[in-house]
Chains A and B, each alone.
Chain A
Amino acid sequence: MTDLSQSPAGAAPEPRKHGGSLLEQTPRTKRRNAAEKRFRAYGIAAIAAGLVMLLILVTTIVGKGTGAFQQTFVTLEVELLESKLDKKGERNIEDIKKVTTFGYAPIIKGAMEAAVAEYGIETSLKAKELAGILSKDVAAQLRDYVIANPDQIGQTVEFRFLASSRVDGYLKGRVTRDSIVNDKNISAEQLDLVDALAAAGVLEKTFNLDFITGADASDARPEAAGIGVSMLGSLFMMLVVLALALPIGVAASIYLEEFAPQNWLTDMIEVNISNLAAVPSIVFGILGLAVFINYMHLPTSAPLVGGLVLTLMTLPTIIISTRASLKAVPPSIRDAALGVGASKMQAVFHHVLPLAAPGILTGTIIGLAQALGETAPLLLIGMVGFIASNAPETIADGLLAPNSAMPAQIYEWAKRADPAFYERAWGGIIILLLFLVTMNTLAVILRRRFERRW
């Protein structure tokens, strides 16, 4: 025991071994305490920066996306003229079907003219411009109604119509009188008409359920587009992923963890599984295109193929989390089971697996959440475009008929020309995030509820 190394010659008059008074801090202690304080400050700053980013993200998304959940509607009385819709007057459904949506234009114009007259609105707009404030979807809505209720032809029926995306934007503040100076889709006079109709109470902005349940719409009518059908596409993909990735992943991990001998082969497999988990998802998309579509001739744009591709992507995540939770079950449980005469398989399935189930479930949910938000592989198997237009009617249809998925639909909307689609893209992000938050919360709750510690 020597102090030589600690106090060089002449450092202090009195050689102190471990500091003097406890009440007084030595410079070294002060430095150490200051370093700790600084470190804590860095930590708090890092968390604060993260929270600020999150706050900016959430406010942007909510600010830009909430508009998509509201839509402008116009309530109009429409006279379903027999002379236009059923010239023969026989109410033969085939004759009625022959009138295309273009044939409904005069009826819509007439309804608008009637409304202008009824509310005493003065305007110099022509009938076509009057009808221009309504969505292009109106004709389809009317035609569907007439085909479903041919007996209503000749009657006057009240309808709730979508307003065009420009009118909707005007009510939401996205479109202003200054911004439409060069716009050929709407004029200031049409906005005057909108103001007058709003004052009369027939034009109003309300909650729009169709955005959540509806199908995609073409570029000419962004106001009619909804995310519902692509949500179904995502659902079917997740079913495929769940049905394939969970059993395969769990079986693989049980074998690797409980039965497989430790040798270079299993080591290799282990390394490769970890590598696969880090492979960029677009690679799985290319693989899916080559194997499932080009080689196996499965249909393009089908949720089944999307699900298969995402299964490949999710498998490593599930295997890794399952192996971790199997490992966490103490060996004493296996030993006890084997000790009372259970076979190895009985020990695993009756004792180890139930105890590992919460961990497996958590891993699966997180893997599914990852797969739900994935866009890149879907680009390559044809799930981006004007696709989510027909709601599937059967389960086989849901798996095989062309469909999009939520993230792919958002990507598609963000690309389109009309700014109204941009708003819907943000609205879609809100719905997608709600799903992800719900799934992750479920994973946390399950873990808290069922996790056992030894």
Chain B
Amino acid sequence: MSFVKLTASALAISAVSATAAAARDQVQVAGSSTVLPYASIVAEAFGENFDFPTPVVESGGSSAGLKRFCEGVGENTIDIANASRKIKDKEIAACAENGVTDIIEVRIGYDGIVFASDINANSFEFTPADWFLALSDKVLVDGALADNPNTTWADVNADFPAVDIQAFIPGTKHGTREVFEDKVILAGCEETGAFEAFKEANGGDEKAAEKACIALRTDGKSVDIDGDYTETLARIESNKDGIGVFGLAFYENNTDKLQVATMSGVVPSTESIATGEYPVSRPLFFYIKKAHIGVIPGLKEYAEFFVADEVAGEDGPLAEYGLVADPELADTQEAVASEAVMGGNS
């Protein structure tokens, strides 16, 4: 029976090779889709310059990556999680529960978040208050909190054209969403005085007021995009009045289709983000399992290579692609070299 033989040999081969695979020889990375381009640039250069195989970088979002990171220690768990936000205490606790205790945090640089519309549509000069008034669920109307009555940008700010509000913002699974809420919506909430009103309504509870501030309207003016920036771009191409939230690097690769809006009068660029003039930026991180260093070949070398001056520095390929170099890169290099874990050495 040739079928039987074939099956038997196939199963035997896979069984034998499954045991052989236990010794994994490449670094495995997963996480934020914002960090993915940077991580893949580094992984590629790492594979070229070292005798280790090119690390594997999967995407899927910061939260999904950190969840997999915290699944445990061992060769069939990932070594590095990319994140476009800081790891949360809740996640550190989840990690610790599964035995992932010594985590090395590496900040690779900063990333700008820009607001862009179609190249042939209206141009905007936003302030955080404009975005709060356009997208929040409740705003101040004649000094009292009421459902958001604004339907066109002209309602929000008399200087804007009278086109319908249509914003495409990152969905809640993206790390970018949090930055958008913190640095734009919440800032606008405070600017317009709505924060005080929310605080009063919640009996002085600041946390509840913050939560109320970042509750966005659900009448279709604000659309959550769960996919990638390419999806946001497609939405804007089919709806010329739409305004989307993008990463700076994505915008810089598509300047023929998009025009960027200023925020508080500052044009976003790597320079204006580095100086801190442009307000909407956030640090990017990756997290390493210390327990895997020395077990997975090339892990530490990859981390050191990532933060090396010639890679993550001002003239490196990452800055060229759109990353804003970290002025404190030297500290990071030292921390990686000494394998300093979060919360001190344990």
**Footprint of B on A, CB under 8 Å?**
100-102, 136, 140, 143-144, 175, 178-185, 217-221, 240, 243-244, 246-248, 250-251, 293, 297-302, 304, 382, 384-387, 389-390, 395-396, 399-402, 414-419
In angstroms, Cα B101 to Cα A426, docked, is 44
Contact of A300 (CB < 8 Å), options: B76, B249, B259:
B76
CB-based nearest B residue for A307: B14
- Given A100-B49, A297-B76, also A418-B253 (CB < 8 A): yes
Interface residues of B in 217-254 (CB under 8 A from A): 227-230, 249-250, 252-254
- Across-interface contacts of B21 in A (CB, < 8 A): 298-299, 302, 396, 400
- Indicate with 1 or 0, residue by residue over B1-22, a CB within 8 angstroms of chain A CB atoms: 0011011001001101110110
What are 20 A-B pairs with beta-carbon distances under 8 A? A100-B310, A140-B48, A175-B256, A218-B41, A218-B44, A219-B37, A220-B44, A243-B10, A247-B6, A251-B3, A304-B17, A304-B18, A382-B58, A385-B58, A386-B40, A386-B43, A387-B57, A402-B26, A414-B230, A417-B253
Q: What residues of B have a CB within 8 angstroms of the CB of A100 in the complex? A: 45, 49, 310
Given A179-B256, A244-B10, A419-B254, A384 contacting B76 (CB threshold 8 A): no
Which chain B residues numbered 24 to 40 have a C-beta less than 8 Å away from chain A? 24, 26, 28, 30, 33, 36-37, 39-40
Determine the distance from Cα of A433 to Cα of B94 in the docked complex, in whole angstroms: 44
Contacts of B47 in A (CB 8 A): 389-390
Which residues in A have their C-beta under 8 angstroms from that of B321? 219-220
Of B16, B40, B256, which one neighbours A180 at CB under 8 angstroms? B256
Closest 5 CB pairs of A and B: A179-B256, A386-B40, A385-B58, A219-B37, A182-B255
In the complex where A243-B7, A247-B6, A399-B17 touch, is A390 in contact with B49 (Cβ < 8 A)? Answer: no
Residues of A within 8 A of B43 (CB): 218, 386, 389
Contact flag A293-B36 (CB < 8 Å), given A220-B321, A402-B28: no
In the complex, the answer to whether B58 meets A220 with C-beta atoms within 8 Å is no
Indicate whether A385 sits within 8 Å of B30 (C-beta atoms), given known contacts A100-B49, A185-B252, A293-B76.
Answer: yes
Distance to closest chain B CB from A219 (angstroms)? 4
The answer for the CA separation of A250 and B3 in the assembled complex, in Å, is 9
* Minimum CB distance partner of A128 in chain B: B315
- Compute how far the CA of A101 lies from the CA of B305 in the bound complex, rounded to whole angstroms: 13
Query: In the complex, how many angstroms separate the beta carbon of A318 from the nearest chain B beta carbon?
Result: 13
* Any A CB within 8 A of the CB of B320: yes
CA A184 – CA B30 in complex, angstroms?
29
Question: Is the CB–CB distance between A417 and B37 below 8 Å?
Answer: yes
Report chain A residues within 8 Å CB of B13: 395-396, 399
Distance, CA A390 to CA B27, complexed state (A) = 13
Residue of A nearest to B229 (CB): A417
Q: A301-B56, A301-B58, A387-B58 are in contact. Are A183 and B40 (CB under 8 A)?
A: no
**Shortest beta-carbon distance, A171 to chain B, in Å?**
16
Question: Is B53 in the interface zone, CB < 8 Å from A?
Answer: yes
Q: Which residue of B lies closest to A180 (CB)?
A: B256
Q: Is B317 an interface residue (CB 8 A)?
A: yes
Residues on B with C-beta less than 8 A from A140 are: 48
A150 CA to B7 CA, complexed, in Å: 48
Closest to B247 in A: A417
Residues of B within 8 A of A299 (CB): 21, 24, 76
- Report B's interface with A, CB cutoff 8 A: 3-4, 6-7, 10, 13-14, 16-18, 20-21, 24, 26, 28, 30, 33, 36-37, 39-41, 43-45, 47-49, 53-54, 56-60, 76, 78, 227-230, 249-250, 252-256, 259, 310, 317, 320-321
Picked from B10, B56, B317, the residue with its CB within 8 Å of the CB of A220 is B317
Of B4, B40, B253, which one neighbours A218 at CB under 8 angstroms? B40
Contacts beyond the supplied A218-B41, A395-B17, A417-B254: 8 A-B pairs with Cβ under 8 Å: A143-B48, A182-B256, A184-B255, A244-B7, A247-B3, A384-B58, A417-B249, A418-B253
**A219-B48 CB under 8 A given contacts A185-B252, A301-B56, A400-B20:** no
- Is the beta-carbon distance between B320 and A220 smaller than 8 angstroms? yes
Nearest CB on A from B62, distance (A): 14
Complex CA distance for A220 and B321, rounded to whole angstroms: 7
| Cα distance, A184 to B260, chains bound together (Å) | 14
Cβ of A217: which chain B residues have Cβ within 8 Å of it?
A: 44
Least CB distance, B34 to chain A, in whole angstroms: 11
Contacts A385-B30, A396-B21; A101 near B255 (Cβ below 8 A): no
CB-CB under 8 A from A178, the residues of chain B are: 256
- In the assembled complex, the CB of A125 is this many whole angstroms from the nearest CB of chain B, namely 17
| A185→B270 CA distance, assembly (Å) | 13
Alpha-carbon separation in the docked complex, A181 to B18 (Å): 54
Chain B residues near A414 (CB-CB < 8 A): 230
CB distance from A74 to the nearest CB of B (A): 20
A386 and B255 form a contact (CB under 8 A): no
Which residue of A is nearest B231, CB measured? A415
Determine the chain A residues whose CB is within 8 A of the CB of B14 once the complex forms: 240, 304, 399
Question: Which residues does chain B contribute within 8 Å of A180, judged by CB atoms?
Answer: 255-256
Residues of A within 8 A of B17 (CB): 304, 395-396, 399-400
Say whether A415 contacts B228, CB under 8 Å.
yes
CB distance from B42 to the nearest CB of A (A): 8
A401 / chain B contacts, CB cutoff of 8 Å: 26
* Distance of B77 from chain A, by nearest CB (Å): 9
With contacts A293-B76, A400-B20 taken as known, whether A389 is within 8 angstroms of B54 at the C-beta atoms is: yes
Q: Which residues of B contact A243 (CB under 8 A)?
A: 6-7, 10
Instruction: Please give me the residue from chain A that is nearest to B5 by CB atom.
Output: A247
Contact A389 B230 (CB under 8 A): no
Q: Is the CB of A390 within 8 A of B37?
A: no
- B residues near A384, Cβ cutoff 8 Å: 58-59
Once the chains bind, are A248 and B58 in contact (CB under 8 Å)?
Answer: no
Give the CA-CA distance A156 to B104 in the complex, in Å.
46
CB of B230 within 8 A of CB of A300, answer no
B256, A385: Cβ atoms closer than 8 Å: no
Q: Which of A183, A220, A415 contacts B256 (CB 8 A)?
A: A183
Contact check, A402 vs B7: say whether CB atoms are below 8 A apart: no
Contact of A389 among B10, B44, B250, B259 (CB under 8 A): B44
Closest to B16 in A: A396
Is the pair A385, B255 in contact by a Cβ cutoff of 8 Å?
no
Complex CA distance for A402 and B75, rounded to whole angstroms: 13
A144 and B48 CA atoms in complex are apart in Å by 8
Provide the residues of chain A in CB contact with B60, threshold 8 Å. 385
Check A219–B41 contact: CB distance below 8 A: yes
